Amino acid sequence: MKTWMLTFESIYTRKVGGLAEVPPRLAEAMKSMGEDVEIYTPSHGFKKENTTGKEVFKTWINGSEYSIWEYNAPVKHYIVSGGVLEEPIVYSRNLLFKSLVFARIVREYFNHVAGRGETPDIVHGHDWHSYPALLAVNAESTRMGIPVGIVYQIHLLSRTLIDLEALAKGIGVSGDDYLRGGLGVKPLKEYYERSGGWVERLAALTSDKVLTVSKGYTRDVVRIVGLDNATKVDYVFNATTWTWDDVVKVVSKIAGGRDLFSHGTRKLVRGKLLRDTWRLIEVENPDPHMNDVIRGFLEKYDVSVNEPFKQDGPLILLTGRSTKQKGIDILLKSMDKLVSEIPRARVVLAVIPVSGTEELLREIIEYVALFPDNLRVLPGYVDYEHYLTLYYSASVFLAPSRYEPFGLVVLEAMASGTPVVASNTGGFRDLILDVRRYGLNGTGMLFTPLDREGMIEALTLMLDIVENEDESSARLRRRCVEYSSSFTWSNSAARLLGIYNALLKPRGSRDENPGG
């Protein structure tokens, strides 16, 4: 079976968020099972000299030259480069245009390889930016009579509207071109009218399968794509490459031979981090504009990123992009109450600044100035060893997201032996076993989204357990590590291959051994 994966992010080229992990990790696991997988991704300024392969395709669009280059990462990448695709900001104001250009090049390349009889069995697009390319492959394969399984995966619902004329013109087709989908072989314009122009609904109508990243998020997806597409919706869990062994290698440099599950060891490592080595933490922000924004706010409020805490205390950690979705503002608005209930709380926000969230970043830094004894911000990518140490040192990981498809950071926390307090939404429902129901076989606590009182109550209850010097703290932390270890890329890839094979059987795959 030959699979193309389409994505706007990859850890081997450009990473913004969790999306960058998924296609290459799945592809690597599938490759280890003997599958033929290729990843297609825009350059976003990724330099040609980084590639070790050859140019495999060249075309021109509106006078600009575009090409596709091989890049031999652990799983083979094809870098689609040139013109607007060289823009280094992945999710810029030109995102739709970039998506359409990417789609047109993929369509032309599909045509090119079809002439050699080398088309894929499956084309799997990740998130809406890759959907126009999926649509283009659908149109080409339908026109040529080539059976290709079309799989669309939602990592985060976008609720994006798109204009039919812009879509068709951008990818180089017409509204009268035929597509395969839930309505049968019908013109694009008929599918578009049925979708109302909503990208995710159009994708569901014109794809063989709609995947998402957790069982809990499937209900949110069905609400958007419609009950008429519900039977197409399935899930493949995300996973993490983090292991307890990774944590041990880093933290043992501080803890020596001590028991890393014991409360005393955690407290020792935490104290050293918060008071002694905090100044050594390196924070990198590759976006020059956001760098300037952050620097301006830090100067305005006289805040230093590397100012250590004066005293140790229970550590509450929150990480992720600086978006409203992550619920950072909910925590900020709760700081008065939180400090009143837990005066010694130490809260660390390790957030990745995202363009368009300048006001939230200003508010974060203002709150750091207002709560100098309790709150710190690390605005950017934290160096690996300190990042792992932060996760290990945390008493509780907090995830107050308004909605969350999966929650990779939660899985990373549990892999570090840190229990989680999170909103009861999306993938969190699959990852977190509430200790109020499961006791010490749980992995954290859930609260109603946006419920600040419920969040503080859950934090207080969780800290009562993990800050306890008896065996209950160590037992809970061991359970977190144990539970997180079941979420592996190998398990996820095996599930995905099962879905692929089920798609190919009815139409007859060209692969004589669909089981791989």
Residue 397's closest CA among 382, 410, 384? 410
Residue 425's closest CA among 385, 454, 464, 394? 454
Backbone angles phi, psi at 40, to 5 degrees: -115, 125
pLDDT value at residue 306: 94
Answer yes or no: do 228 and 357 share one domain.
no
Answer yes or no: do 235 and 255 share one domain.
no
- Is the pTM here over 0.75, yes or no? yes
pLDDT value at residue 286: 80
Q: Which of 104-108, 249-253, 405-409, 506-510 has the lowest mean pLDDT?
A: 506-510
Strand partners, 78: 40, 70
Answer yes or no: do 196 and 258 share one domain.
no
CB count within 10 Å of CB 208 equals 22
- Residue 44's alpha-carbon distances to 11, 27, 57, 89, 139, in angstroms, are 13, 21, 18, 7, 26
Q: What tens digit of pLDDT does each residue of 129-173 get? A: 999 999 999 999 999 999 999 999 999 999 899 999 999 999 999
Is position 516 within any domain?
no
Answer yes or no: do 155 and 218 share one domain.
yes
Residue 460's closest CA among 350, 340, 377? 340
Residues 6+ apart with CB under 8 A from 22: 7, 126, 153, 155, 213, 238
Please check whether residue 38 is in contact with residue 48, taking contact to mean a CB–CB distance below 8 angstroms. no
Answer yes or no: do 258 and 355 share one domain.
yes
Q: What tens digit of pLDDT does each residue of 272-328 get? A: 999 999 999 999 988 889 999 999 999 999 999 999 999 999 999 999 999 999 999
Q: What tens digit of pLDDT does each residue of 443-461 get? A: 999 999 999 999 999 999 9
pLDDT value at residue 510: 45
Angle between the N-to-C axes of helices 384-393 and 244-255, in degrees from 0 to 180, rounded to the nearest 10: 90
Is position 263 within any domain?
yes
Answer yes or no: do 185 and 278 share one domain.
no
Answer yes or no: do 385 and 279 share one domain.
yes
Residue 28: pLDDT above 50?
yes
pLDDT value at residue 509: 44
- Residue 155's alpha-carbon distances to 97, 134, 146, in angstroms, are 21, 16, 28
**Half-sphere CA count of 456, side-chain side, radius 13 A:** 17
**Residues 122, 38: Cα–Cα separation, whole Å:** 11
Please check whether residue 31 is in contact with residue 37, taking contact to mean a CB–CB distance below 8 angstroms. yes
- For residue 274, what is the DSSP state? I
Strands 122-126 and 2-6: parallel
Answer yes or no: do 372 and 340 share one domain.
yes
Domain containing 223 equals: 2-239+489-507
The number of residues making up the chain comes to 516
Residue 513: pLDDT above 70?
no
- CA angle, 59 as apex, 85 and 185 as ends, to 5°? 90
Could you tell me what percent of the chain has a pLDDT over 70? 97
Residue 90 sits in a domain whose CATH number is 3.40.50.2000
Instruction: Output the average pLDDT for the chain.
Output: 94
Answer yes or no: do 25 and 164 share one domain.
yes
Strands 375-379 and 346-352: parallel
- SS3 (DSSP) at 182: coil
Residues 6+ apart with CB under 8 A from 333: 452
Strand partners, 283: 382
Q: What is the number of structural domains in the chain?
A: 2
Q: What tens digit of pLDDT does each residue of 341-374 get? A: 999 999 999 999 988 999 999 999 999 999 999 9
Is position 514 within any domain?
no
Q: What is the mean pLDDT of residues 54-82?
A: 94
Is position 50 within any domain?
yes
Answer yes or no: do 125 and 249 share one domain.
no
Is position 54 within any domain?
yes
**Residues 294, 300: Cα–Cα separation, whole Å:** 10
pLDDT value at residue 505: 82
**Residues 68, 464: Cα–Cα separation, whole Å:** 56
Answer yes or no: do 37 and 170 share one domain.
yes
**Residues 468, 471: Cα–Cα separation, whole Å:** 8
Buried b (16+ CB within 10 A) or exposed e, 214-245: bebbbebbbeebbeebeebbbbbbbbbebebe
Answer yes or no: do 155 and 265 share one domain.
no
Is position 135 within any domain?
yes
Is position 179 within any domain?
yes
Is position 515 within any domain?
no
Please check whether residue 204 is in contact with residue 373, taking contact to mean a CB–CB distance below 8 angstroms. no
